[in-house]
Structure 1
């Protein structure tokens, strides 16, 4: 995501003619986009993306369990 933002900023600065970026080659402006594609292809092929998604799901499940347990505990204490 950061590479895409960097690429868009570089393109915008070149388009607006801001120095010294206006004098740079277009290849330098497109480099962040190429690096983003390389990163995404590596992340998908290595399983990094899936692993992060599974970690987020496990964290959400644990939060739900904790909320349910605390709710059950509070109900048990009230009934005494």
Structure 2
């Protein structure tokens, strides 16, 4: 996401004619978009995206279980 934000900022500065970005080649301005594509490809290929989704779901489940245990006035889980 950071690559995408940098790319959008550079693109806006290039189109706005703000120096020193206005003097850069288009390849330098477009490079962050290419880096974002490479990052997303790698994240999907390596399983990073799925692993993060599973961690998020596990955290939501643990929070839900802890809330239920508090509502039932049970001691916290040891796991």
Any gaps of 5 or more consecutive residues in structure 2? 75-79
TM-score by length of 1: 0.91
Q: Bigger radius of gyration, 1 or 2?
A: 1
- Structure 1 runs (4+) greater than 3 angstroms displaced: none
TM-score by length of 2: 0.92
Aligned residues: 74
Structure 2 match to 1:67: 67
Distance between the aligned counterparts of 2:20 and 2:46, measured in 1? 38
Distance between the aligned counterparts of 1:35 and 1:20, measured in 2? 21
Alignment RMSD (CA, Å): 0.9
2:7 pairs with 1:7: yes
